[in-house]
Amino acid sequence: AARQKPRPVLIYELSRLGRTFYETLRALQELEALGAPIIAVSPKEAFLANLDPQVRKLILAIFTWVAERERELLRQRTREGMLRAKLQGKHIGRPRKKVDLRLVKKYREKGLSYADIARLLGVSYSTLRRRLKELGA
């Protein structure tokens, strides 16, 4: 079978190819080795298609390095913000599911299992058991 010509890889930003600088560069190198043209459609990266290949590689390396730094800063700011909120007594994460103890007792009296009750209340079995334990029931 004849080998097909690689199809172009269309991507918004080159930084989306990997999570780290090295991962992104490795992905770019692998795609280049396969002969697959990489087309970035982001306005800030569209000009790269018309550059000399060596200059393009240099600019791509800089872009991927900057993208990794931005991700690290965002991660750090997020952690700091969550810690600050936690220290102020604010709840972090999704709201806890509530369990109506009266309904649980009513369903148990009717002979329903905890799994069935959890399904009826829209919570997982483990959440139901945990709330009952917290409430001392």
1: in domain: no
Q: For the stretch 53-90, what's the b/e string if a residue is b when 16 or more beta carbons lie within 10 angstroms of its beta carbon?
A: eeebbeebeebbbebbeeeeeeeeeeeeeeeeeeeeee
Longest CA–CA span in the chain (Å) reads 77
Domain residue limits at 75: 9-87
Joined tokens for residue 34? 């396969």
Q: Lowest mean pLDDT: which of 36-45, 70-79, 96-105, 119-128?
A: 36-45
The DSSP line for 80-99 is HHHHHHHHTT---SSPPPP-
Model-level pTM? Answer: 0.58
Q: Are residues 20 and 59 in the same domain?
A: yes
pLDDT at 126 over 90: yes
At 92, list the tokens.
């972090």
Q: Are residues 115 and 52 in the same domain?
A: no
What percent of the chain lies above the pLDDT cut of 70? 98
Of 36-50, 54-68, 104-118, where does the model show the most confidence? Answer: 104-118
Q: Domain check: are 110 and 80 in the same one?
A: no
- pLDDT higher than 60, residue 16: yes
